[in-house]
Amino acid sequence: MEMDLPSDRPHGAAPAVAPVNAPDPASWSSAREALQEIAWLHEVQPETLDALAAEALLHRVPAGSVLLEQAETPVFAQFLLAGSIELLGIRNQVETLIELLLPVDLVIPAAVIGDQPYLMRARVYEEAHLLLIRAEAFREAIASDHAFCRAILGRQAAQFRRQVRMQKNLKLRSAEERVGCYLVALFGQSHTDIVRLPLEKRLIASQLGMTRETFSRALAGMAKFGMLIRGDVLHIEDAAAARARFPLDPLIDGPEPIKPFQDRKA
């Protein structure tokens, strides 16, 4: 079963984010097939996946739709299969971006596991394909299936480590260093000297813990380090100078792969 929701996006369609490895939504005809495609669930028993699929539905949501609000109690465990989701903190009607969630991942699983209120709002950035599993069935599978429990712990561990990296970036680097290292990491993933920013500038600024104005000033100052920004395009004029001024730290800037726990072999 697949559901569509109308969009309430106030500011038009969002640009695409950087491509990631994710299942192809066109290949799913059922919740069971979608579960089968999630790499970090491959060790889970088929019977458990069958039981979860019986309590699940596929859900396609347009950009701008609010999936859940702060203080709501989870009804479903939500697996992001394709697209992207903004996780937002809200206070006095002011939003701040906590993280942009990319597939394949769980949407605020800690609240679902603990049956606690959400601490963030979740809003779709790019059209999202979701797998929704009834929260109680999700918790029952964690309690009854060791492999499923390990897989969810692996996701929780990766999310925690991502947040630690973000906090270290915010607290140990100046605004200029945060912007410079972000750009160096960005062109480090490319084989060309021209790279398009993967997100709107407001989102990048929020992720880096600064206002849009501070971010714009920092971007303008990158020219003296061999990096020029024109619109949303990064031009690399002196990669060596940029890397020398903004060296990357693998304990801050490194990737955080999903590594499901494995059984110890005798």
Supply the CATH number for residue 199's domain.
1.10.10.10
**pLDDT category of residue 16 using cuts at 50, 70 and 90:** very low
**pLDDT category of residue 192 using cuts at 50, 70 and 90:** confident
Number of domains making up the chain: 2
Percentage of the chain modeled with pLDDT above 90: 78
What span, in angstroms and rounded, lies between the C-alpha atoms of 173 and 149? 36
22/136 same-domain check: yes
111/223 same-domain check: no
CA dihedral (131, 135, 140, 142) positive or negative: positive
Residue 10: its pLDDT value, please?
A: 33
Distances (CA, A) of 214 to 78, 118, 220, 232: 35, 30, 10, 16
Span 30-52, pLDDT tens digits = 999 999 999 999 999 999 999 99
Where in the sequence is the domain holding 105, given as residue range(s)? 2-169
Average pLDDT over every residue of 196-203? 91
Residue 259: its pLDDT value, please?
A: 59
Asked whether residue 265 is domain-assigned, the answer is: no
Average pLDDT over every residue of 67-79? 97
Using the predicted structure, report yes or no on whether residue 9 has a pLDDT greater than 90. no
**pLDDT category of residue 11 using cuts at 50, 70 and 90:** very low
Average pLDDT over every residue of 187-207? 87
Residue 258: its pLDDT value, please?
A: 59
Higher pLDDT residue, 257 or 197? 197
What span, in angstroms and rounded, lies between the C-alpha atoms of 225 and 243? 9
Using the predicted structure, report yes or no on whether residue 178 has a pLDDT greater than 90. yes
Q: Which among 227, 252, 222 has a CA at the least distance from the CA of 238? A: 227
154/235 same-domain check: no
Span 109-145, pLDDT tens digits = 999 999 999 999 999 999 999 999 999 999 999 999 9
110/9 same-domain check: yes
Cβ atoms < 10 Å from Cβ of 214: 15
Residues whose CB falls within 8 Å of the CB of residue 203, separated by 6 or more in sequence, listed in order: 86, 97, 100, 125
**Domain endpoint, select from 145, 169, 193:** 169
161/180 same-domain check: no
Asked whether residue 264 is domain-assigned, the answer is: no
165/179 same-domain check: no
112/188 same-domain check: no
Q: Give the lowest-confidence range in 21-25, 155-159, 181-185, 200-204.
A: 21-25
Residue 23: its pLDDT value, please?
A: 60
Residue 188: its pLDDT value, please?
A: 82
Question: Which tokens sit at 11?
Answer: 């500011």
Q: What is the CATH number of the domain that holds 49?
A: 2.60.120.10
Residue 257: its pLDDT value, please?
A: 67
156/185 same-domain check: no
Answer yes or no: are the C-beta atoms of 263 and 227 closer than 8 Å. no
Using the predicted structure, report yes or no on whether residue 222 has a pLDDT greater than 50. yes
Across all residues in the chain, what is the average pLDDT? 88
Asked whether residue 253 is domain-assigned, the answer is: no
Strand residue runs (E) in the chain:
2-4, 56-61, 66-68, 76-91, 94-101, 105-106, 121-134, 194-196, 227-230, 233-236
